[in-house]
Amino acid sequence: MVKIAIYPPNSLILADLLERKGHTPLVLQKQIRQKIKDPEIDSPPMNITEEDPIKGLKYAAIEVPSGVRGRMAIIGPLIDEAEAAIVVDGAPYGFGCIGCARTNELSIFLLRNKDIPVLELTYPTNQDETYAMVNEINEFVDSLEETDKEEE
Amino acid sequence: MVKIALVSCGTEYSGIQKEIEKAANKFGAEIVLPEIDLDYIDESYEKFGFSAQSSSLKLMIARAMAIVEGRSKPDAVFIATCFRCAEAALVRNEVRRFIQNNTRIPVVTYSFTERTKADELFIRMEALATTVTRRSILAREKQEGLTLGLDSGSTTTKAVLMENNKVIGTGWTSTKDIIESAKTAAAEAFEQTDYGWDDLDGIGTTGYGRFTMGQEFGAELIQEELSVNAKGAVYLADCQKGEATVLDIGGMDNKVITVNNGIPDNFTMGGICAGASGRFLDMTSRRLDVDITELGPLAVQGDWRKAMLNSYCIVFGIQDLVTTLAAGGSKADVAAAACHSVSEQVYEQQLQEIDIREPLIQVGGTSLISGLVEAVSETLGGIEVIVPEYSQHIGAVGAALLVSGMGHRQDNK
């Protein structure tokens, strides 16, 4: 079982594909769930408080807007934890999105610069491309399993 | 309840969503999000024509479009984006212009950090709510009876006594203890007449200390200074019909308000940097060893181009001016450079955020500094700037005017 970061980090489709293969997708929803299950809701709707953009300073400097640092406070730890990553470029909002282009740039850069296998794909525009994308993801994930076994 | 639409690219990720809601709730307003579907985002984004990379900015554009097209019907709009984000700043400004050009809904913009607290947003939310709910009060054009207006500002406290549409007494003192300063200013105003506290029909309060004063004196009207100053300005400048812009460069913050037929419909408020405030001029006059009242005429005689001023900062800017003096520069040139610096910075930070409508009415204590008024006119390409009589007492005049008709103290006796 490999911990795989996905981008967009809240893509239900990508998360589902990985779970079916028995891997752990590192998704935004789990991070947010941890925050909001706290009985003390300080800042609805997502319970991100002033402290989070400050935690985000680990990933981006103070001159970076608070919205980017707030997002990085949630996405950054997922990137830190990742053993592999799948990045889908050009996806529509419905596929998953965190709303901020600067956060996308920084997150994808951090994933590329981490010494882990990264699969980069372009969002499909027709059925054939969709099949091809799913196959590529499956092959990538299988290759991770093999590496995993070899290491064991 | 007043519905304020939040048009933003992600206040929830900066942890300030609850602060925005708290500020709106305090003034009987609620924050609403214009509801739209995914297809509408693409449709409105294409129509709007700004190629934003961030999808939250596309969402912002779609929400603005929903307001303009009447799919969403808020009473006011609050546009907020992250401080220091260039893309968001561009979209924020274009979205504001788009809503203003196509609707009569009041709009206020703000760029926030994670440190933004509800207190900073109170005055903006209160003014938005007032513009919507108190139109009947803001429509008042004539003062009646005997009323007292009290304005507790960050630097000075002003009192104005009005009777039958005329100012009959004024008072002015530096702000120390809120209540004591108000009493001192009021006593000065009463001294110029035969009246006392017991003769008043009503009291209106405004400024930072409005709630404290309002409670102490049982004021009939407690109102933020954006609405009050705008009203006082158009009243004194005799511009109650048609359009105008009111500029108040204060001791701590600056206000720019556009007015249509006497009712404020949009405003912007600064307060991040002391270099763009009256405080800069106050410090300049001290370094020049001239009274603040002499700074304006001195500046009019000078040429700002002859004094080196490389920084807008209240510390480094003043140092530059001192260096100019040390190198043999004239006091007049230094005074002119200080006025030019404040005017230029107010223009860069605030006047660009609002569509200036002529005439421009300049009010507040700094409007008495003629060099600053001249600099503002020059910065804005030579437009007409009106400084009405009693401009330094603007908040107190506005409060005395607006409370008239609300106070019935003599009837109750």
Distance, CA of B239 to CA of B164 (rounded, Å):
19
Check the CA dihedral B191-B197-B202-B208 and report its sign.
positive
**B8 contacts chain A (CB < 8 A):** no
- Chain A contact for B14 (CB, 8 A cutoff): yes
The CA-based angle B55-B59-B60, given to 5 degrees, is 115
Of A52, A63, A99, the CB nearest to B10: A99
Per the CB < 8 Å rule, is A49 touching B15?
yes
* CB nearest B14 (choices: A42, A63, A66): A66
- Judge whether residue B413 has pLDDT over 70: no
Contact at CB, A53 and B59, closer than 8 angstroms = no
Residue carrying structure tokens 């882990």: A116
Contacts of B154 (CB under 8 A, 6+ apart): B175, B208, B250, B251, B252, B253
> Which chain B residues are closer than 8 Å to A63 by Cβ?
84
Whether chain A has a CB inside 8 Å of the CB on B113: the answer is yes
Quick one: angle between helices A12-20 and A127-151, nearest 10? 50
pLDDT of A151 reads: 67
Q: Do A70 and B15 touch (CB under 8 A)?
A: yes
User: Which pLDDT does position B282 carry in this prediction?
Assistant: 87
Is residue B322's pLDDT more than 70?
yes
Q: Which amino acid is at B2?
A: V
B280-319 burial code (b ≥16 CB/10 A, e <16): bbbbbbeebeeebeebbebbbebebeebebeebebeebbe
Q: Which residues of A touch B (CB under 8 A)?
A: 42-46, 48-54, 63-71, 92-94, 97, 99-102
Q: Give the pLDDT mean for A79-96.
A: 94
Chain B residues whose beta carbon lies within 8 Å of the beta carbon of residue A67: 9-10, 13-14, 82, 85, 88
Give the type of residue at B244. Answer: A
DSSP B230-289: HHHHHHHTT--SSEEEEEEE-SS-EEEEEEETTEEEEEEE--S-GGGSHHHHHHHHHHHT
DSSP lists the bridge partners of residue B171 as: B159
Contacting residues for B88 by C-beta, under 8 A, at least 6 apart: A65, A67, B9, B54, B57, B81, B82, B111
Residue B222's pLDDT is what? 94
- Is there a contact between A67 and B115 if contact means CB atoms under 8 Å apart? no
Regarding an ipTM greater than 0.85, the answer is: yes
- Look up the pTM and report it: 0.81
CA atoms within 13 A on the CB side of B24: 22
At residue A2, the pLDDT reads 93
Determine the pLDDT at residue B280.
85
Considering CB atoms only, which of B10, B84, B113 is closest to A100? Answer: B10
Looking at residues B188-206, what average pLDDT do you find? 96
Min Cα distance B87 → chain A (Å) is: 9
* A69 with B114: Cβ contact below 8 A: yes
What's the mean per-residue pLDDT of chain B?
90
B interface mutation test: which of A7, A11, A66 has the most B CBs within 10 A? A66
Sheet containing strand B221-222, edge to edge, reads B166-174, B156-163, B146-152, B202-207, B221-222
Q: Are the beta carbons of B114 and A97 separated by less than 8 Å? A: no
CA B217 to chain centre: 25
Query: Does B15 sit within 8 Å of A53, measured CB to CB?
Result: yes
Average pLDDT score over residue span B151-170: 94
Q: How many CB pairs under 8 A join A and B?
A: 89
What's at B42, amino acid-wise? D
CB contact under 8 Å between A49 and B88, yes or no, is no
From B122-126, B293-297, B370-374, the region with the lowest mean pLDDT: B122-126
CB spacing of B56 vs A100 below 8 angstroms: yes
> A-contacting residues of B 44-83, CB under 8 Å?
52-56, 59, 82-83
- Does residue B112 belong to the interface with chain A, where contact is any CB pair within 8 Å? yes
CB B152 within 8 A of CB B249: no
